[in-house]
Structures are given as structure tokens and as C-alpha cells.
Structure 1
Amino acid sequence: MLAETDTTENDLTVEQPLGMFALLLQHSDAQFEFTQQQVSYTRAWSDLNKLGNACMYNKFKSAEREKIAYFSQKPISIYPPLRLIVTKENADKFPQQIDLSTYSALNAHIGIVKGRSYGDIINRYINSNPDVFYYRSGMNSTQKLIEMLLKNRVAGVIEYSAEAYRILSDKEVQLAIQAIPIAGVTQPDYGYIACSKTPQGKQLIERIDFVMNQNAFKQDFIAAHNEFFDHDEKVLLKPELEKVFVD
């Protein structure tokens, strides 16, 4: 399993979003096993098919990506929309909902991870206005961007609010940030497992699909998401979870 967890010390079975990979292994009945290999966001997709029997988790699915990888039928995570994470002391400088197409770098750069996909809408903003963004690459990139935010070295960071709060494990520090909705980005994000476009990768994804279609996995998947998010996010995710995992 290629891990883009931002640090060489993280264990995928406990650190990746919501613990869903650990849940998948628990329900697999030893149909497959993975070893972890750390990669950067910029190298992950090229390494996927070089290795031939590798997978990645929590990846956006697109027609372009489906040309180079097999994707799981169901998402391995369902997240509320990405937000612009800012410090509370600077929150009044931003509207209640930010339109990235009109944001100016004169207001300071917005931090993003180089090589990461942020979904079609945000990706278009990034490609159209690259000078607005500060690009961070390498291990610890997300954590480093949050640290830069707290030091006012970037105006904001595009990230899931739950992930930003997780990085800031100190509860007092968590109170220092605020999540601002991004115009046009209103729907929850689906993250899938992607495996090498090889016979071995196809076999892996078929086994993963089999496990994820079991009722016991579906029930635990929904329970984990309900436990992880706050009330407002649960309300947003409920119809998505039912659509994907309730027969």
C-alpha cells in the first residue's frame, strides 16, 4: 500500500482517514495483506504501476485516472467538502463563503500540497490562478502548511476541517482555526482505493470490492463515519452514506 500520510512514522492501519483501511483488513478474512511504502504525492501515481501490485487509498476517481488504475466500486471514505482553513484572528478578513476565482495573492497565498488532487472545481481554480497558491511538497506537507498558517505565513490552507483538527491534537490550538466554505464546493467528497492497472491489481481490487460489499463491513463503515464527524457534518453525510451503503 502506497502511503501519502505526510510522515514516515504513520501506520496506515491507524492513521489514515477514519481508520477505514484498518476496518477493511478486519473484514478481509485474510484474503489479502499489505505492506506499507511511503511515497510523496508527486511520486505516488507513477510508482503505482511501476510496482505492479500496489494500491493507494482515499483517491478521487476520474475518467483520466481510471485509465491508469483500477478503482474500488464503493468509496473507502466519504468526507464533507474541503474548506479553506484560516486562523480565527484573521477570519473576519474573509467572507462567509470564499470564491477562489476572485481571490488575490495580494491577500497572501493559500497553502496547498503539490501533486495532490483537490477535486475538479478546486483543481480548476488552482490551474487558472497558480500564483494565488503556495505549494508545499515532500513529507509532512499538510502538517507544515498548518504550522505556517498558525505563524501567518500563509493566509489559509485548503483541507478537510476534520483533518486540520486532527493535526492540531492540542485542543487549545484547535480553537485557533476556523473552516470557511468554498464557493461551488458543496458536495461531500468520495475517496476510493486505487490499484495498479495490472492483472495483480485487478485481482486485488476484486477482493477489496467483495469485502466492501459485505453487510458487516457496510454497517461498521457507517458507524465509523457517524462517530468521527460532528452533528452538522453528520447531517450532510447521512444521505450520501445511505445512497452508497444502504441496500
Structure 2
Amino acid sequence: MHYAFRYAFLSLLISTPLHAKTIDWIVTDFAPYYIFNDQYAGTGRDEGVIALLEQQLPSYTFNRTIFPSSRTIQELSNPNHTYCMLSLYQSPHRKQHISFSEQTSTVGLSPSIAIHQELVQHLKLETSTPASLKTLLNQYQLALGISMSRSYGNAIDAVINNSADASIIIRPGRDTLASLTYMLKKKRIDILLGYPSEHYYLAKSMGFEDQLMQLPLTEAPDLSYGYIGCTNTEQGIAQVEVLNAALKEIKQQPAYHEVLLRWLPDNLKPLLEQRYKQTKTPQLSEAFINISIFI
């Protein structure tokens, strides 16, 4: 009798959805969004947002699983396991397999050019307004470094693809931005295309951030937006709703804004703050530009 009762009780436990209060996050080794291994470990922007969500949802257990960036969307789309991830670009194809938050999870400045300050002074470039990538390539004939198979938005991609006579160095493989940043440090390229926080983190890690300047581009939108995406299962849809409500709360906290600004150089922090405040007006709050921050 006691055995039968214990068996029934254990069967009930096994059949109970123990994962109901657990959210499994996909994270990836991609600084400065996630930083695992160097002296800045734990200070990544996206892991900072996840930590704030964790504080906002004390009744939930957050698990983190590391995947290579090349596998993140594949794992997130697999209905056999429900995962969630930050800073995702929305597309019709992805929406077939991934449920997205209505609230943005991260906001950042769009792609910019990293360039040595002395070259800016030598060329007498205007730094108070965005620069034209087309002009930098074709008029000034600067050597550009970019990562292979990475899109920077339609307008920037069009400039690159239509600049056949320009000097463009394309690097394949892993850690391409780090190797290109090293080339910029050694002045083997003149300008480097990437996101401002990436430029700043890599230059800081290599100890020459004070020698660089970042120029916003006329071909880029003001801001890039990322969303939370969860596997499109019943559990994932429910988790997106919970996380969406939590995002709305944490975005009112100073700590959230500090996380967004953490890996920007000082001269670009006011620009992000200004542009972010402008999007919070009722007319612009839904006018999100679907540019992926990194995935």
C-alpha cells in the first residue's frame, strides 16, 4: 500500500512540468555582448540584461547554455527543446520557428567606422556629423576591413558591393573582427567596419582605444534594435509573454541604461542616449528598424 502510494506520488512528480518556472537561455562567446574569458568576464552587455531580467523574475530559475554563434538560430528553432535568446533580428522566416517579444531587449548604435585619430586630422574629416562610407572609399580611397558573410544593412552592403575599385580587405573564419582590429592597430588598413561597442571592446583589449575615433555613417540608420526570441512552442510563447512584461519594467531602471552604454566610448554615449530618448515618443515607439545587433 505504501509502495503504491509512493509510486503514484513519484509518477505525479515526473509528469509535473518542472520546467514551468525555468527559462533556458542561449548565450554565445561573442564579446562585448557576452564575455567569458578575459579580464572583463561577466561584463557583457547582453549578459547584463539577462541578469536584470533574472532579478525582475525571482520566481524563475535561469539556466545558460553556451553555443557557437553559428548554431544559435538552429538550436533556438528546434522544437525539441525550448530556449530563449537576446538581441535577435526579426524576419518572416524566423517567425515561423521563433516567438519574439514586442518590447526591444537591446538598443545600440548602428555600424560605424573605426579610424585612427591622426588620420582623421590628416584628412580633415568632419567629426560632428556622420561620414559617408562611399566617400571614404571612393574619394579618399581608404582601405576598408570587413568580416566575410556579415551583413551591415542594405545601404552599407550596397556601397561595399558597388565599390569594385575600392580597397576592401575581407577576412573569413572565426575572430575576424579581432584580427582586423589588429590590422587597424598596425595601420595595415585605414578603416574598419563594425558596431561601436565591438570596436571599443577590441581596441581596449589591445590597449589602443585612445588612438581611435569612431565615425557614424550616413548609410546606417540611427539605431539597431534586438528582441528576445524563444522557441515557438507552447512553453516558449508563455515565456516570451513573461519576459516581455519584465523587459517593460527593467527598461525604466537606470541599471538597464548603464548596461546599454557600458561598451561605448565616451564620445558616443550621449549620441545613443539622445537617439534612444527620441524613439520613446508615442509616434516613434513602434517604428523599430529591424537591423540585427549581432545575430
The TM-score bracket by the shorter chain reads 0.7 to 0.9
Asked if 1 retains the 8 angstrom alpha-carbon contact of 2:113 and 2:194, the reply is yes
1:29-51 CA distances to partner (integer Å, 9 max, x unpaired)? 242412231313x3332332246
Question: What is aligned with 1:73?
Answer: 102
In structure 2, C-alpha distance between the alignment counterparts of 1:147 and 1:171, rounded to whole Å: 8
Gaps spanning 5+ residues in structure 2: where? 1-25, 287-295
Q: Does the residue aligned with 1:77 lie in a helix, a strand or coil?
A: strand
Distance 1:197 1:126, change over 3 A: farther
Distance 1:99 1:133, change over 3 A: farther
In structure 2, C-alpha distance between the alignment counterparts of 1:94 and 1:159, rounded to whole Å: 22
| Cα shift at 1:83 | 0.7
Question: What is aligned with 2:186?
Answer: 151
| Rg comparison, structure with higher value | 2
**Larger RCO, structures 1/2 (Cα 8 Å, 6+ apart):** 1
| Cα shift at 1:223 | 4.0
Letter in 1 for 2:91: S
Q: Does the residue aligned with 1:53 lie in a helix, a strand or coil?
A: coil
> Identity of counterpart residues, as a percentage?
19
Instruction: Give the structure with the larger helix fraction.
Output: 1
In structure 2, C-alpha distance between the alignment counterparts of 1:75 and 1:12, rounded to whole Å: 25
In structure 1, C-alpha distance between the alignment counterparts of 2:157 and 2:97, rounded to whole Å: 19
Q: Does the residue aligned with 1:56 lie in a helix, a strand or coil?
A: strand
Question: What is aligned with 1:99?
Answer: 132
Correspondence list, 1:62-211, <5 A: 62-91=91-120, 92-93=122-123, 96=126, 97-101=130-134, 103=137, 107=141, 109-126=143-160, 132=168, 134-138=170-174, 140-169=175-204, 173-211=208-246
Question: What is aligned with 1:239?
Answer: 278
| Cα shift at 1:21 | 2.1
1:91-133 CA distances to partner (integer Å, 9 max, x unpaired)? 34585444345635x9465333444443343344455569845
Asked if 2 retains the 8 angstrom alpha-carbon contact of 1:60 and 1:119, the reply is no
Answering whether residue 72 of structure 2 is matched by residue 44 of structure 1, we say yes
Q: 1:218 aligns with which of 252, 258, 263?
A: 252
Asked if 2 retains the 8 angstrom alpha-carbon contact of 1:71 and 1:192, the reply is yes
Q: 1:16 aligns with which of 45, 48, 69?
A: 45
The number of residues matched between the two structures is 242
In structure 2, C-alpha distance between the alignment counterparts of 1:174 and 1:142, rounded to whole Å: 15
